[in-house]
Amino acid sequence: MLPTAKIVNDPVHGFIRLPEGRVMAALSHPIVQRLRRLSQLGLAQFIYPGATHTRFAHALGVLHLADEALLSLQGKGISLSQETWEAVLLAALLHDIGHGPFSHSLEGSLLPISHEVVGTQLLQLLAKDIGDLSEVESLWKGTHSHPFLCELIAGQVDVDRLDYLVRDSFFTGVQEGLVGTERLIYTLSVAEQKLAIEEKGQTSVEKFIVTRRFMYWQVYLHKGVLGAEWLLRRWWEALQRAEEKPPLLRRLQDDAVAGESLEAFLQIDEATVWSWIQESTEARFPPLRALSRALLWRIPYKIHYVEEASQMAKKKEEWLGKFPSAAQPWVEWFWVEGTAENEAYKPTEGEDIYILTKEGKVCPLAERAPWLRGLSGPMKRFFVGGIPSASLESLLR
């Protein structure tokens, strides 16, 4: 356990200890402070008004769970050097620094690379200010000499998932998402260099998996949330088509060609995007104008799930019928269709959650809890949706 520098009040986990040393340095760095201006759930707050929590608060939560997990493992005789302890906390705290604004909707839109790649580049930038971070990188990449620490940071039951499930549940008010993180952390262990859950924690881990499924349908793939996220995606597309783009966005895209875009990227947070939305309410390109207003006035696509792909065309036709003539030329902008998918649990050969029995055997969860197989394999649903025609006139005015 590292010496405590500061204590922060977190509504989800209570008090969070922040250790002295490089964790504090990283936390104060502009690259991390920027996470205060990125929301965890983007436009899900259109449906769940309490869900305005940030990636910054999530990062603190992940740090906290990692610290608790190491404490618990220490109590079981698994001790680490101070350096490695600090590296694990940094790996937890920094795991999301590569995200841009509204990642659920716009991932890959600002920069043509994944948030993991951006993250690794930002880690190198950060290392210039706070010193070598190669152990953190090895934890992210899965090449650390203690593989179980890599799993703790990114695995089937990692501190990232544990925090976001319970945090998203807390802020949305969806009680179905509450997971006993405390118990799961208490029952973590290591067997054959793999992270394993002690037998007495099996129910907790089963509950964790079921909960993921519930949160998918109640929050992440909720029809209203989907409708809001698509609004943002389509607005972004419209913005690309517009003649006048925000100068910062142009700079980002020009720099990206030159391979030097990180600096502009770091200046674009969700406030920036909202200010672009605000500015484009009077744009000349009608879809851009309409979609900007729909975002500010909260008029998401009205989404329906359909049983088979074949029903999509019929739904669209119905919807087109009610359409005001002024909107006809832009009809494709006010309609979305696609598939929503989730997979709560995905056990494969050598890639399951492992249970450590009292006798010291390591068993894959899929074997010990066969009923969970009902949850494995992806669930897939087709959806369609449009902007309510009654609103279109004022949106296009």
Q: Which stretch binds its own copies (CB under 8 A): 78-86, 174-182, 226-234, 330-338?
A: 174-182
- Cβ proximity to its own copies, 113 vs 248, nearer residue: 248
Which of these, 163, 209, 199, 160, lies nearest to 182 by C-alpha position?
163
Contacts with its own copies in 39-78 (CB under 8 A)? 39, 45, 48-50, 52-54, 56-57, 60, 75
Please, are residues 60 and 151 in contact by the beta-carbon 8 Å criterion?
no
First to last CA, the chain: 61
CA distance 17 to 40: 22
CA 57 to CA 237: how far, in whole Å? 30
Q: Does 34 bind its own copies (CB under 8 A)?
A: yes
Q: Which is nearer to its own copies, 120 or 181 (CB)?
A: 181
- Given a contact cutoff of 8 angstroms between Cβ atoms, the answer to whether 216 and 223 are in contact is no
Q: Which of 361, 359, 344 is nearest to 207 (CA)?
A: 344
Q: Would you say 186 or 330 has its CB closer to its own copies?
A: 186
Nearer to its own copies, 214 or 323 (CB): 214
CB of 180 to its own copies, least distance (A): 4
Q: Which of 366, 161, 169, 16 is nearest to 152 (CA)?
A: 161
Question: By CB neighbour count within 10 A (0-12 exposed, 13-18 middle, 19+ buried), where does 205 fall?
Answer: buried
Minimum CB–partner distance for residue 366 and its own copies (Å): 12
Q: What is the nearest approach in angstroms of its own copies to the Cβ of residue 92?
A: 15
Identity of the amino acid at 388: P
Residue 345 forms beta bridges with which residues?
Answer: 376
In angstroms, what is the minimal distance from the CB of 55 to its own copies? 10
Question: Of the two residues 60 and 111, which places its CB atom closer to its own copies in the complex?
Answer: 60
Q: Which is nearer to its own copies, 109 or 357 (CB)?
A: 357
Is 212 a binding residue for its own copies by CB under 8 A? The answer is: no
Residue 117 or 178 with smaller CB distance to its own copies: 178
Report how far residue 273's alpha carbon sits from residue 146's, in angstroms, rounded to the nearest whole number.
40
Tokens 């200046």 locate to 267
Contact footprint for its own copies (CB under 8 A): 3-4, 7-12, 14-15, 28, 30, 33-34, 36-37, 39, 45, 48-50, 52-54, 56-57, 60, 75, 170-176, 178-180, 182-183, 186, 203-204, 206-207, 210, 214, 217-218, 267, 269-272, 274-275, 278, 296-298, 370-375
